[in-house]
Amino acid sequence: MLNAFQRLIYPLKKKEWFPILLILVLACCLYFYRINFRGLWIDEFFSILEI
C-alpha cells in the first residue's frame, strides 16, 4: 500500500525527473562557484563608464 507521497511521485519516471535535476544541479554549482564574487552596483557601473 502506497502513502500519499509515493502515490504522487510513483507515476513520474526517471526520464521526467532528469531535466529538473539537471537544472537544479547546474544552478547550485553556479551559485556556489560565484558565492564570493562581489558584483558591481549600477552606480559603480556608471562611474566606470564615465572614466
Reply yes or no on whether the pLDDT at 18 is more than 60: yes
Reply yes or no on whether the pLDDT at 6 is more than 90: no
The DSSP symbol for 44 reads H
**Confidence band for 10, pLDDT divided at 50, 70 and 90:** low
pTM of the model as a whole? 0.48
The per-residue pLDDT for 28 is 92
- What is the b/e burial string over 5-17, where b = at least 16 CB atoms within 10 angstroms of the residue's CB? eeeeeeeeeeeee
Q: Using CA atoms, how far apart are residues 34 and 20, in angstroms rounded to an integer?
A: 22
Q: 29-45 pLDDT, tens per residue?
A: 988 887 777 766 777 77
**Mean pLDDT rounded to a whole number for the chain:** 77
